[in-house]
Amino acid sequence: MLKYVVIMALLCSTVSARELIRYPYWQMVSDIAASIESASPRPRTVSDAGARKEITYPFENLRHLRATDVLRAAKEGAHVARLQAALGKTAEEIEALVTQNVAIALEYLPMLIRRDEDIEAIALLMAKRDEDATLRMYLLKNSAPGFAAPSFLSISLPEIIDTHEAPYIKWVVHAATHPSEKPEVQRLALEIAYDRLLRSYTDVLQQDPAVRAYLDSEDACLATLMREDVLELSQETHLATRQIRTRFHDFARDIAGHIAEGSVRDETVKALTREILEDMRDAIHGINTHQIDTYLAGQRFTAPAFPTRPPVPRADPESMSERLDELFLQADPEQMEIPFPF
């Protein structure tokens, strides 16, 4: 028994000592987060004359970081938590610790997003199948409204993504459609991608004057507007909804492989795919129901032969690691000096 205790103590001390060397970003960000939590509240004064000028606030340390720094910290924090399995912790305890470390590392991520490349790095981390699944799902949930508990991250990150959505959408759809994706990640990506389409559709409808007037009435039902032609909409609304319907059709085509004849995808992914396609067919006015029914039958849909818009560039999974490493290594000239507070 004594020998076991000694071995465990040595292992604990070894892991702790190595954290400073092998996991510098996690150590840096966790120290900053701890100092923010322990900081005394800012004194209340009626004027600047009564304020204590010598007080410093550790929250200011965040301004030296880049978005990629906290993404690295989240990866390292998840790895550090996984090491606790050697100490005999249960799988549930490990998952809780991974989530805790990831949450600490990413809570202030929105403050550090300054470039489109930062959004791309976030989206790539969500989509890379060899990254920690708990980390990926945490990012996915906090990247879309309504999928995570309210926090600074879950409120601010979706707002920022809305203004830089192109790389985000590409990689979320990649996770939602890739045949080798983990089922739990794929189900979440499917829900988020479809929810984003629905929100885009309803946002366009609600901008129409006739729709706004209708919604002010007692018997208003937005779901009815989405599936039936009950109002005379403006030309601009017709054009915008037609463009979004094209995105619905593209998404349906991309996910149809999950339920195609001979598919060996996870049964829960198949069930969710059917649910999405059926909802799309029944809820969206003007959708090509024949196309959706063809997918639901497990068959391939062949579109009529007429000129169409160029296909949307698909994500290249083989370049994911190289691109993410490149984004991590890019240095912002104004952020070159990153002080480590330990």
Q: How far is Cα 72 from Cα 110, in angstroms, rounded to an integer? A: 15
pLDDT tens readout for residues 93-103: 999 999 999 99
- Is pLDDT of 247 > 70? yes
**Token pair of 321 as six digits:** 């690691």
Give me the pLDDT at residue 322, please: 74
Position with higher pLDDT, 303 vs 104: 104
Average pLDDT over residues 221-229: 68
Mean confidence (pLDDT) of the chain: 81
pLDDT tens readout for residues 42-85: 555 444 544 445 445 455 677 788 999 999 999 999 999 999 88
Residue 168 buriedness (CB in 10 A; 0-12 / 13-18 / 19+): buried
pLDDT tens readout for residues 122-139: 999 999 999 999 999 999
Q: Cα dihedral sign for 230, 280, 155, 330?
A: negative
Average pLDDT over residues 284-310: 81
What are 194-201's contacts with CB under 8 Å, separation 24+?
194/251, 194/276, 194/279, 194/280, 195/144, 195/146, 196/144, 196/169, 196/172, 197/244, 197/247, 197/248, 197/251, 200/244, 200/247, 201/226, 201/241, 201/244, 201/248, 201/284
Q: Are 180 and 187 in contact (CB under 8 A)?
A: no
Average pLDDT over residues 83-95: 90
Tell me, yes or no, if the pTM score tops 0.75.
Answer: yes
Q: Are 159 and 152 in contact (CB under 8 A)?
A: no
Position with higher pLDDT, 57 vs 118: 118
- Is pLDDT of 289 > 80? yes
Percentage of the chain beyond pLDDT 90 is 50
φ/ψ bin of 88: left (φ > 0), alpha (ψ from -120 to 50), beta (otherwise): left
Q: Are 226 and 205 in contact (CB under 8 A)?
A: yes
Q: Are 289 and 249 in contact (CB under 8 A)?
A: no
pLDDT tens readout for residues 329-342: 765 545 444 443 43
- Is pLDDT of 219 > 90? no
Show Cβ contacts of residue 176 under 8 Å, excluding neighbours closer than 6 positions: 186, 189, 190, 192, 193, 254, 255
Position with higher pLDDT, 327 vs 273: 273
Cα 96 to Cα 25, 100, 253, 265: the distances in Å are 20, 6, 37, 28
- Is pLDDT of 39 > 70? no
pLDDT tens readout for residues 142-201: 999 999 999 999 999 999 999 888 889 999 999 999 999 999 999 999 999 999 999 999
